[in-house]
Amino acid sequence: MADKLNVIWKEICSKVRAQVSADTFRRWFSSTKLIEADENNLTVFVPNHIYGLWIDSNYMAILNHAVTEVLGQPRKIQWEIGSGEVEAIHSEVVSDDNNSASEKQLKILPAARNQIRSRKKPVAINASDDQIEKLTRKIGLNRNHRFDTFVVGSNNEYACAAAHAVSKGNSEGYNPLFIWGGPGLGKTHLLHAIGYEHVKRNPKCKIVYMTCEQFTNEFIEAIQNNSLSKFRNRYRKAELLLVDDIHFLAGKEKSQEEFFHTFNMICDGRRHIVLTSDRPAAEISDLEERIVSRCEWGLTAGLELPDVETRLAILRKKMAMWQVSLEDRIVEFLADRIRKSVRRLEGAMMRLASYSSLSGKSLTDEVIEGLLKDILREEGRRRVTIPSIQKEVALHFDVRIADMTARGRRSDVAFARQVAMYLSRTMTDHSLVEIGRAFGRDHGTVIHAVKKVETRMEKSQDIRQKVSILGSRLSSV
């Protein structure tokens, strides 16, 4: 029977594969399996709630059509939720390179799988528009940051799906949800979208949104005013705690202690936490190990840089929302040249649209280059690779490029290597693990190197100048 089910599902999946991109199929269908079938229903295994939710929302029409084509009549699809272990069943479509990209975006820790418990879902009580307006303002949410205004691409599919799952209450096993990514990639947008959806579905839910800077400032003020009890009640009684920029807690010992206990109180009460950061928790310097461990309890989802198709989609969606118009050649220029930040991309679009509207002048290539001079310079400055850094640093310190990855401990070579690691950390978007790998080291060595160079730069103007000169040279390459 199992063999027959596998044959049926393979045929269905081949139909689906013809209708979606290879990347989409690999991400959302390669870990599915038909485990039961009757005249009316198909029961399909998916690794976790997120897979079922995302396929329901985005690919169900394609899947239903494929089922009808193969079986001759429609069947109702039911999901059998797995333990969170993602295993490639359709292995022939999964490549090692693509796996690495997916693992970087989505990580489900064993602890999360062990936390899955059945719990009655809260009944949705849809809020009125007036309620939504008042509550979002009170909580501090940006109403423009909703799921329907978020442009989904291959760079953010997992994070968006995870955020959807949390917003719909399908996430008992993924607490907390930890979303990380560089500046301007949509972390805060997703955080606010989760809050907005909760307000919309259940206006009685006690939601608290905070930045970690706000948390730290309020904590200090509470100590000074002898009002810690009031401060703790505000955060620890939240049913949904939305925490922006957890990396801001780095090095703040007392604030970390307070946050640690807040975290425990909420999770022990089986309430939910969503966190954002500019990097994975394990890569945040001076963040206590116990907080790193808590951040990694649940689901970690990364936001990668958007590809050109996604950047084009973002621009077109924002133009429609903001009722602005730009020629196709200009939109394509922006999508091609501005790659590092969605926020920067949107800002450039508005700058050009505003100039055109207010001045009435045509947006020639020369005008565009002039108006976006600072943005384009910043985009160009950031296009630095680790090999180019290794080469430039080796040349500057008169050492061999091979010394960058060698095991030698000679002090001049070791310092040159540390400077190269520091520049790789500050001038590229690579993670600590990726930088370590490029130098034949682990991420801990990179953290040590960065701290070492920062310390020496603070103490020595000569070293500060050397690092600055290297940075300038690399930026102009």
- State how far the Cα of 55 lies from the Cα of 62, in Å rounded to an integer: 10
CA distances from 70 to 10, 13, 22, 92, 426 (A): 10, 10, 21, 21, 53
Q: How far is it, in rounded angstroms, from Cα 429 to Cα 347?
A: 21
Cite the DSSP H helix spans in 323-431: 328-337, 342-359, 365-371, 373-381, 386-397, 411-427
Predicted pLDDT of residue 229: 95
Q: CA-to-CA distance for 302 and 314, rounded, in angstroms?
A: 19
pLDDT at 329 over 60: yes
459 to each of 110, 418, 467, how far by Cα in Å? 44, 16, 13
pLDDT at 110 over 90: no
Residue 87 pLDDT exceeds 60: no
Q: How confident is the model at residue 421 (pLDDT cuts 50, 70, 90)?
A: very high
Q: Three-state SS for 390?
A: helix
Amino acid 15 reads K
What DSSP line would sit under 224-254, residue for residue?
HTT-HHHHHHHHHT-SEEEEE-GGGGTT-HH
403 DSSP 8-state letter: G
State which amino acid sits at residue 43: T
According to the model, what pLDDT value does residue 270 have?
87
Q: Which of 339, 266, 337 is nearest to 298 (CA)?
A: 266
| Residue 117: per-residue pLDDT | 36
| Model confidence band, residue 47 (pLDDT cutoffs 50, 70, 90) | confident
- For the cut 50, the answer to whether the pLDDT of residue 116 exceeds it is no
CA-based R_g, the chain, Å: 25
Tens-digit pLDDT profile for residues 350-408: 999 999 988 888 899 999 999 999 998 878 665 678 999 999 999 999 999 988 988 87
What distance separates the 2 farthest-apart alpha carbons in the chain? Answer: 78
DSSP character for 402? Answer: G
What amino acid occupies position 312? Answer: L
- Residue 129: the pLDDT is 82
What is the spatial distance between Cα 258 and Cα 268, in angstroms, rounded to a whole number? 15
Tokens of 159: 């994070």
Asked whether the predicted pLDDT for residue 220 surpasses 60, the reply is: yes
User: Among 425, 471, 472, 427, which residue's Cα sits nearest to residue 449?
Assistant: 425
d(CA 379, CA 344): 9
Burial class of 468 by CB neighbour count within 10 A (0 to 12, 13 to 18, 19+):
exposed
In the Cβ-directed half-sphere of 391, how many Cα atoms lie within 13 Å? 8
Can you read off the two tokens belonging to residue 87? 């295993």
Write phi, then psi, for 47 (nearest 5 degrees).
-60, -35
| Residue 107 clears pLDDT 80, i.e. is over it | no
pLDDT reading at 96 higher than 60: no
138-197 residue pLDDT tens = 999 999 999 999 999 888 988 999 999 888 876 666 789 999 988 889 999 999 999 999
Element (H, E) at 68: helix 60-71
Q: How far is CA 244 from the centre of its chain?
A: 12
Identify the pLDDT of residue 459.
Answer: 87
Phi/psi at 233 (nearest 5 deg)? -60, -40
Spatial contact of 112 and 297, defined as CB atoms under 8 Å apart: yes
77: which residues sit within 8 A by CB, 6+ positions away?
41, 42, 44, 60, 63, 64, 67
Which residue type does 408 have?
G
Per-residue confidence band for 123, with pLDDT thresholds at 50, 70 and 90: very low
pLDDT score recorded for residue 145: 94
pLDDT of residue 31: 87
- The model's pLDDT over 291-313, given as tens digits with 9 standing for 90+, comes to 999 998 888 898 988 889 999 99
Residue 91, pLDDT above cutoff 50: no
Residue 430 has pLDDT above 90, yes or no: no
Task: Provide the pLDDT for residue 173.
Answer: 64
Hey, what amino acid is at 111? A
Strands 106-108 and 299-303: antiparallel
Alpha helices in 186-227 (DSSP H): 187-201, 212-224
**Segment 220-234 mean pLDDT:** 95
Mean pLDDT confidence for 266-285:
89
Q: Strand 41-46 to strand 76-81: parallel, antiparallel, or no bridges (unpaired)?
A: parallel
Cis before residue 176, ω within 30 degrees of 0?
yes
Contact 272, 166 (CB under 8 A): yes
Of 189, 181, 224, 184, the closest CA to residue 209 belongs to 189
What's the mean pLDDT when you consider all of the chain?
85
Distance CA 395, CA 21 (A): 44
Nearest to 305 by CA among 342, 349, 256: 342
Residue ranges of domains in the chain, CATH in brackets: 2-94 (3.30.300.180), 114-303 (3.40.50.300), 310-381 (1.10.8.60), 386-475 (1.10.1750.10)
